[in-house]
Chain A
Amino acid sequence: MKKFILFILITLMSTGAILAQEEKKEDKPVRAPFESGILIDSRTVFNPVKKTLEFNIQHRFAQIEDFNNLYGIYGASNIRLALNYSVMDKLMIGFGTTKDQKLQDFQLKYVILEQTRENTIPVGLAFYGNMAIDGRNEDVFGLNYEFTNRFSYFAQLIISRKISYALSLQLAPSFSHVNAVLPGYEHDKIGISFNGRLRVSPQSSIIFNYDQPLEIEAIYENKEPALKPKANVALGWEISTSTHAFQIFISSARALVPQYNMMYNTNDFFDGGIFFGFNITRLWSF
């Protein structure tokens, strides 16, 4: 009988130990690899929880010139206002409107994988896609105008890694397409973005973004394209709370919809093509 009780006790203890081990092994997603769905000109793997409404204000002043235009602040600016809604924890849909070219964009982000604390999944992975409609006068599209001439697209796979409490990095290959272009220009562009944040205090981070359009001759439509877009370099500072993120930065991109940066950016960061900008993100939970 003693042996039987001992057997039951050992069995229960070992079962308990196994259960405890299993509880330990439950691997949760890492906490906040990024504070906002937007990082300067790029998107992040961060998605607000289900039933959250996100409001984005993206503002870009004119090119920094001199004190007379207060380093671009008095010049003609570009602005984008967007509302995004998290339908599920992993799925966000949204709509935005931009001043330049009167762009109206519809966007979708789906978080495919979340990096976990114990590295069961070592990286985060998300898909971001949008479709934008150019709202300018139809004369811009020339003869044989059709409504679809206004459309442009952007698709991106975002791979992220929260390396430490302070440092999170992202690498994001992308494909941009514009339906109607001038003769000599390209319709498609493959690009790669590299960005991240380095937290320097509980609420503040240094942030950076680099977008490089790739010149791939195999997909050229023209022998020599009329425009080879320049890389977008950006550096800034982020201050965040649980429902707000505020980013202030300098960037060499004026466009606020990513395909227009990848296709048409003519500003060289190292040759004076720099703009002041800021992003504000506000979250409401329902």
Chain B
Amino acid sequence: MKKFIPISLVFFAVVFFSACEYEFIKPLDPGIDPNEPQSFSSDILPIFEAQDCVSCHSSVGTQFSLEAGSAYQNILNLNLADTGNPEQSVLYTVPDPTNPDQHPATYTTEQAARVLIWIQQGAQNN
């Protein structure tokens, strides 16, 4: 058993340092045409389901709801989609995968691009 301590410490040190890297994240190309029309009902709402946003943002809790029936109205009322400054919109920035803040759910790069393009296209209830 006494051998266990140095062996485990050496093992830990090896694991600790061997995989230590200094990488910088280069954001992915989302592969979406910015001119492709984005529909709220068929492109944006499914993202809230897919990322399980609705588990916290539901009509049951106190977070604003992103469920199908009330999502658009809440986005409008709380000004989450800022068409004047789309890149600063809360709906885009908070779950963006490149945001280091610790929001429980994050979009994929493609989903983030769809949300941004939808806001740039006027955040229509289409």
Contact = CB atoms under 8 A, between A and B. Distances in A.
Given A75-B62, A137-B106, A148-B21, A266 B8 contact: no
Interface in B82-117: 97-98, 100-104, 106, 108-110
Interface stretch (B22-30, B36-44, B66-74, B118-126): B22-30
Given A78-B102, A91-B8, A179-B21, A143 B62 contact: no
B50 to A, nearest CB: 11
Given A76-B56, A139-B109, A143-B28, A187 B102 contact: no
Q: Is the interface of B mostly helix, strand, loop or mixed?
A: loop
Interface residues of A, number: 48
Given A69-B62, A181-B25, A183-B25, A140 B20 contact: no
B27 A74 contact: no
A93 B106 CA distance: 31
B23 A149 contact: yes
Given A139-B28, A140-B97, A179 B20 contact: yes
B78 interface: no
A101 B95 CA distance: 12
Majority secondary structure of chain A interface residues (helix, strand, loop or mixed): mixed
B56 A180 contact: no
B102 A254 contact: yes
Given A68-B62, A108-B12, A129-B12, A151 B101 contact: no
A129 B56 contact: no
B113 to A, nearest CB: 11
A255 B102 contact: yes
A269 interface: no
A49 interface: no
Nearest to B21: A179
17 contacts: A75-B63, A91-B4, A93-B8, A100-B102, A100-B104, A101-B102, A110-B9, A129-B16, A137-B108, A139-B108, A142-B98, A143-B26, A151-B19, A179-B21, A179-B23, A180-B23, A221-B22
Interface of B: 1, 4-5, 8-9, 12, 15-16, 19-28, 56, 61-63, 97-98, 100-104, 106, 108-110
